[in-house]
Homo-oligomer: A and B are copies of this chain.
Amino acid sequence: MKEQLKNIRGSITAPCGFRAAGVFCDIKRLGTGKGSNKGAKRDLALIVSEVPATVAGMFTTNQVCAAPVKLCAERVKKGTAQAIVAYSGNADACTGAQGLRDALAMTQLAAKELHLPAAHVLVGSTGRIGMSLPMTNVKRGIAEAASMLGQAPEHAAAVAEAIMTSDTQPKQIAVEFELSGRTVRIGGVCKGAGMIQPGLSGTRARPPAAPNARPPRGPHATMLCFLTTDAAIEAGTLQAALQEAVANSFNRITVDGDMSTNDTVLALANGLAGNRRLRAMSRNASVAGADLARFQSALNQVAVELAQMIVRDGEGVSRFVTVRVAGAKTFADADAAARAVANSALVKTSWHGGDPNWGRIIGALGYSPAKVVEEKVDIGYSAPGSRQVLYSLQRGQASQATFKALCAAVDAKEFDLHINLNLGNASARIYAADLTEAYVDFNKGDVSDPASLGG
């Protein structure tokens, strides 16, 4: 499918019929009386479809979750939405009944400005936990954003900027492809940086844990992702497609192993591309099947590219490592092994130092819940996506590769770590990052400034 997919300019306003705006209404400063949003010139955004759209959503499985997550998880079930309010600097998490009232009020304010039913407005938030929202500012911000909506790439870029917290750069993408002769577009923006190991679910019910899978852990800065498409797609089908895309992207990343209270992925599909409406069990199954596969493939690629941007721009990150585990007995084992390695403080610091130490890696595999047999383990490195693997360990024995060659393999800013447990056929990958002094320095906070202390 990839050859039919074209990257295009812009992001969430690239699909037909979407407008957006990002403004600054000083949500963080007024919430605490001092400080200002780090690195973000804007802090509130609106994304609006010209017509009602089908909607799908995936939300953090953290038992402690933000008011906007609770509100969206309910609204998304109806299958229709038309606008999203997103803001940064305040998580609206652990804010009790007032937090829920504020989230609701926000959708009402946006609905009034946009002349929509409030039930068709969704909210996404990121920032400090346990702080009440400066609703006067939010109201001003929503009104201002509603008056500035536009379709140009700059409008979408303003949204990408408004949701940033500790991100050093905005994250956005748009692609174009054909569905039975019609041009369809998908656009997306996201943010991340820290408190990143999402475990997203479409239901907010915690998925039953695989018998020996480590529980998902995750973000403080939160990951937010908003996807738009002009494809015509039935809501249940969109939800299933989003679920698959997230399972292979946002649910496969870790920056620091912490799972946020606010992680949210929302997708709006307004149908303005005029393609034959996609649905999973169409009467004309073969055509719809091919179209749906094409849409799924495009959505997967958009999601995985956005997810990787989050890891590359993680707090203090200096190296991006794709941990590829193969030969596990089960997917749960492969996943658990990959996460144990990707979240080991010792493995992560060794990556930072460019140290090809396999002892820490096999140690992490050994304490993971995955079945591991020392004498069967292969460990090696390659350039991203390459199959030319330089092994440091083969069947539990140090390989003949020189220390110099191994150092060169892990000296790259991006590389793949290949682990084969040689026990079965299951595999899993995790997009991971190193652990640096910069991460510690950034997150130890500045106690002279309560506003700097992330949620």
Contacts and interface: CB of A to CB of B under 8 A. Distances in A.
B455 A62 contact: no
Give the oligomeric copy count.
Answer: 2
A354 interface: yes
A132 to B, nearest CB: 10
A192 interface: no
A363 B217 CA distance: 10
Given A256-B345, A372-B64, A437-B440, A445 B130 contact: no
A367 B436 CA distance: 24
Interface in A340-395: 340, 343-346, 349-350, 352-360, 362-369, 371-375, 393
A367 B130 contact: no
A15 interface: no
A378 to B, nearest CB: 13
A452 to B, nearest CB: 9
Contacts of A393: 94, 130
Interface in A256-286: 256-261
A415 B218 CA distance: 26
Interface stretch (A74-82, A114-122, A171-179, A208-216): A208-216
A372 to B, nearest CB: 5
A396 interface: yes
A353 B446 contact: yes
B129 A359 contact: yes
Q: Which of A199, A261, A346, A371 has the most CB of B within 10 A?
A: A346
A31 B31 CA distance: 59
A60 B63 CA distance: 32
A371 B357 CA distance: 37
A213 to B, nearest CB: 10
A64 B393 CA distance: 14
Contacts of A148: none
Interface in A208-261: 209, 212, 214-218, 220, 256-261
A343 B359 CA distance: 21
A218 B375 CA distance: 20
A365 B435 contact: no
Contacts of A450: 403
A71 to B, nearest CB: 15
A91 interface: yes
A340 B64 contact: no
Contacts of A259: 363, 366-367
A441 interface: yes
A454 interface: yes
B218 A367 contact: yes
A7 interface: no
13 contacts: A64-B372, A91-B359, A94-B374, A96-B396, A129-B362, A209-B369, A215-B367, A258-B346, A261-B362, A349-B439, A352-B444, A353-B447, A359-B453
Interface of A: 61-65, 91, 93-94, 96, 128-130, 194-195, 199, 209, 212, 214-218, 220, 256-261, 340, 343-346, 349-350, 352-360, 362-369, 371-375, 393, 396-398, 403, 407, 435-437, 439-441, 443-447, 450, 453-455
